[in-house]
Structure 1
Amino acid sequence: MNDSTATEKQKKHFWNKRPKKELTVDDITIVDKDMLKRAVGAAALGNAMEWFDFGVYSYLAVTIGKVFFPGGSPAAQLLAAFGAFAAAFLVRPLGGLVFGPLGDRIGRQKVLAITMIMMSIGTFCIGIIPDYESIGIMAPVLLLVARMVQGFSTGGEYGGAATFIAEYSTDKRRGFMGSWLEFGTLAGYLIGAGLVTGMTAAMSTEQLLSWGWRVPFFIAAPLGLFGLYIRLKLEETPAFQKHMEKQEQLEHSKPRLGVLQMLSKYRAQMLKCIGLVLLFNVSNYMLTSYMPSYLTGILGLSELSGLMLVLVVMFVMMPLTLFWGHWNDRLGRRPVIALGAVGIILLAIPCLMLIGSGNLGLVFVGLMILGVLHTCFSGTMPSALPALFATDIRYSALAIGFNLSVSLFGGTTPLITTWLVDTTNNLMMPAYYLMGAAVIGLITVYFTRETANKPLHGSAPAVGTRAEAHKLINKLKLRRQKEKDAAKAAE
């Protein structure tokens, strides 16, 4: 993963390039604050919609297992429900292959509107599928189809949303602005999980099994329409607009790279993306998707107790995600991610011992520690990942790398961990799985270049005001003068 290749030298940061002419204010992107807020809100809303579904599905996994797979044991039902959950991740790379290049060709905003429509349709359809007793084997088949529609659309969602926010943000606050994307994730999950928790408390088991479980999925339709309206009101990102202007000015535009060519040319960056996403999503899905069912199905806690514990942890994680979003702009992306990875390596086993104790207070402490460590990733990754790639291939590369890693390692976490615990009867398997992901993530961080407070690859510096632009120009002039003076002194 050495970045000192000839190819990398040709792609040096705008910040480090020596321009042939003096940099002017017109060369610097001045971000419209109102448009930035709308862009962040629209991107975060789409992510909230996606994770509303994840929260609902994870918290209803036991119920869904009974509705669609009634013939098996409780463990087999849970395994089958998570199997349908994981199946959606198999098609996410296909969604990335379709929507990523499309986003680099026709624009980020248009593709994000398309993915919003598909996500809401897929989620709504789950709510109208008849149960196993009504149509037999077709019930789980239709569930699988609906989940795959969701997975396909999600393949273009996160990469596009992260790219959208990163390209709209100023260089100094890209970390903080990006952290709102994961704030939306937690908010959506919290709303979905909270809704299920309230229904579990208010309804009898019979009501929940007969019709109650469908209600959260029906809510996807109005949420999707609202999100679509917001996204259609947005303009394209400044970075993409400037990129397209440059392409139009060129008489002979360079041919676009094919997927295999891109994977080969940018393999170092793709490997880094996969490694970082592996760390990010294994800890994410372990906490948000697996733990609710682990607490109830494996440890035997009451459903309401298990659901409430994870909900409180999610609530505390929301401001902590913004906290790390702010501080990774100051401390750097690499130190914050490394802190979370080291914390998991050292504390995963103690946390699972606390969770496995069965004492509600100790279970909460174990979950809370894992949640706090995860916010090191959720507050940092939305800004760290887009910075790995240049503007012309950013959406494509991020969508493919992100979804490939999520499909292989993240979304399968509940399924694999459930299988490992069921096969080995070792309740510490989740801790070992987390530690393995943290080791891989830590190695990846070591080989990743710091990008905090720097322009994105292939983009001009981005600031909030003209005064900041003039200040940046003066700073660059001073730097060049110092370089000239140092060169003369060396002669």
Structure 2
Amino acid sequence: MSMTLAASVETPSRFRLIAAVSIGNALEYFDLTLFTFFAVTIGKLVFPTQAPGTQILLSLGIYGTGYCARPIGGLVIGAYGDRRGRKAAVNLTLVLMALGTAMIGLTPTYEQAGLLAPFVVLAGRLLQGFSAGGETGASTTLLAESAPANERGFFASWQSASQGLAVMLGAGVVWLLSVSLSPEIMTSWGWRIPFLCGIGIVPVGLYLRRAVEETLEPATARATAPHNPVGDVVRLHWSSVLWALLGMLGANASYVILNLYMPTYGVRELGLSPASTSAAAMVGGACMLLFSPIGGVLTDRFGRKTFLVLSRVLVIVLTYPAFLLLTAAPSTAGLLLIIAVMSAIQGLGSGFFIALTENFPKNVRVTGFSSVYALGVMLSGGFGQLIVTWLIEVTGSKLAPAFYVIAIGAASLIGILNLNYRTGREETGA
């Protein structure tokens, strides 16, 4: 899409564009939210012979293993998006994500299928991971390239906002089921309902995306696409990969622990009810949904680096006091407040999505973004919940998650400060 065409997009079509492109990302994080809420239940059903502590570790291990497929998906689907187009890539990931979600929702229990049960869950997570590895890079690139130059941060910020929406909806469904069904029914079959409902997003997403225009023109793609996009990213843009990867580690570690893991933490470590923790997660998702577009607008107006550094420093400074307060006086109100504040801060840092997009030139943009995002998510987030749960078990300290977030967040500041910021410019060459 040309700059003139992008600038002429009116409000209704802008809304449809953002919704259509972001919906795959929303599906991804909708499912991630569900798995963390039901990690204890899934552990009981597929590892019933293990002790409760081992069950949750094995369940989170399967959850984390799904992230190992992300770098492969990022490279394969990223190269596909740079050669065949962004739209083709995002439609492919949407279908693959739904298939993986369906496998988890329909997985048999250990009593029904024996060792096949955990393997079905694992296969579903690997397929989801492969899909997710290419989804965020392709869809964020499509959003950014469809936007006017002075609104790219706002458009790209809806990827972060869609994560908040997904968490809010996922937590809302879990809360509704928790107050409507007995614990026995939830463990028996109620937990499957949200996973199967998530599949319904696919036809809606494909329908909305029919009207989305491809931003990689066929002639441009043939003229500029490298024979080996992966090789070009590694050979020509290795420094961009390094700094972006460092920045990605902190962004995802804080999101996974402070948003996705907190419901499990609230139930297991603070003794709060599932309904209470899911309500707090809903508030956190709503805050991300509200503050992410604000962060996108601010980054368009005042620059990417300022708000990225500010949001990351605030997360580092406030994480330890937040966990200290929660462990000293566990309460639903305290959990709700802390998740809301930390989610709002992370939302204001949504400019990282456009910064990561602009970090690479157009001809290898999806490959570069997807590979960095997938690898960063795998390293800092995939096994993050497993690591902090294990750290709590080993050290006996409920503050272990705070130290995990702080350490990785501090290292990620180096990457943010050295990113290749191409704010407001379009670069199509290598």
TM-score category of the 2 structures, normalised to the smaller one: over 0.9
CA distance in 2, matches of 1:127, 1:329: 40
CA distance in 1, matches of 2:225, 2:170: 45
How much has 1:321 moved relative to structure 2?
Answer: 1.2
1:193-220 deviation digits (Å, cap 9, x = unpaired)? 2101110111111101111111111112
CA distance in 1, matches of 2:188, 2:3: 59
CA distance in 2, matches of 1:27, 1:259: 26
Partner in structure 2 of residue 58 of structure 1:
36
Q: Which amino acid aligns with 1:372?
A: A
Match of residue 433, structure 1, among 397, 404, 407: 404
Q: How does 1:408-419 map to 2 (within 5 A)?
A: 408-419=379-390
1:70 aligns with 2:45: no
How much has 1:456 moved relative to structure 2?
Answer: 2.8
Match of residue 308, structure 1, among 250, 272, 279: 279
How much has 1:313 moved relative to structure 2?
Answer: 2.2
Q: How does 1:437-448 map to 2 (within 5 A)?
A: 437-448=408-419
SS at match of 1:236: coil
- Indicate how the Cα distance of structure 1 residues 133 and 177 shifts in structure 2: closer, same or farther if over 3 A, else same: same
Partner in structure 1 of residue 208 of structure 2:
230
How much has 1:70 moved relative to structure 2?
Answer: 1.5
Match of residue 262, structure 1, among 210, 233, 255: 233
CA distance in 2, matches of 1:143, 1:387: 36
Q: RMSD over aligned Cα, in angstroms?
A: 1.9
Partner in structure 2 of residue 295 of structure 1:
266
1:167 aligns with 2:141: no
Partner in structure 2 of residue 362 of structure 1:
334
CA distance in 2, matches of 1:279, 1:334: 15
CA distance in 1, matches of 2:123, 2:90: 22
Give ranges in structure 2 of 5+ residues lacking alignment.
Answer: none
1:193 aligns with 2:171: yes
Relative to structure 2, which stretch is displaced further, 302-311 or 360-369?
360-369
Partner in structure 1 of residue 155 of structure 2:
177
Partner in structure 2 of residue 97 of structure 1:
75
Conservation of the 8 A alpha-carbon contact between 1:44 and 1:182:
no
- Indicate how the Cα distance of structure 1 residues 129 and 418 shifts in structure 2: closer, same or farther if over 3 A, else same: same
Conservation of the 8 A alpha-carbon contact between 1:92 and 1:152:
yes
Q: How does 1:81-480 map to 2 (within 5 A)?
A: 81-237=59-215, 240-241=216-217, 244-246=218-220, 255-257=226-228, 259-356=230-327, 357-377=329-349, 379-452=350-423, 454-458=424-428
CA distance in 2, matches of 1:247, 1:324: 32
Q: Which amino acid aligns with 1:44?
A: S
1:364-415 deviation digits (Å, cap 9, x = unpaired)? 33323322221133x2122111100011000111111110111111222111
How much has 1:247 moved relative to structure 2?
Answer: 5.8
SS at match of 2:48: coil
Q: Which amino acid aligns with 2:29?
A: W
- Indicate how the Cα distance of structure 1 residues 94 and 306 shifts in structure 2: closer, same or farther if over 3 A, else same: same
Partner in structure 1 of residue 5 of structure 2:
30
Aligned residue pairs: how many?
425
How high is the TM-score relative to the length of structure 1?
Answer: 0.83
How much has 1:27 moved relative to structure 2?
Answer: 8.5
Conservation of the 8 A alpha-carbon contact between 1:332 and 1:450:
no
1:63-111 deviation digits (Å, cap 9, x = unpaired)? 1111112222222221111111111100011111110111111111011
Q: Which amino acid aligns with 2:294?
A: F
Q: Which amino acid aligns with 1:40?
A: I
Q: Give identity over the alignment, percent.
A: 31
How much has 1:449 moved relative to structure 2?
Answer: 4.1
CA distance in 1, matches of 2:235, 2:212: 34
CA distance in 2, matches of 1:428, 1:299: 12
- Indicate how the Cα distance of structure 1 residues 135 and 448 shifts in structure 2: closer, same or farther if over 3 A, else same: same
CA distance in 2, matches of 1:66, 1:170: 50
CA distance in 2, matches of 1:60, 1:451: 41
1:427-484 deviation digits (Å, cap 9, x = unpaired)? 11111111112212211122124443x123228xxxxxxxxxxxxxxxxxxxxxxxxx
- Indicate how the Cα distance of structure 1 residues 254 and 393 shifts in structure 2: closer, same or farther if over 3 A, else same: closer
CA distance in 2, matches of 1:124, 1:326: 36
- Indicate how the Cα distance of structure 1 residues 134 and 345 shifts in structure 2: closer, same or farther if over 3 A, else same: same
Larger Rg: 1
Q: Which amino acid aligns with 1:214?
A: R
Give ranges in structure 1 of 5+ residues lacking alignment.
Answer: 1-25, 460-491
CA distance in 2, matches of 1:113, 1:345: 36
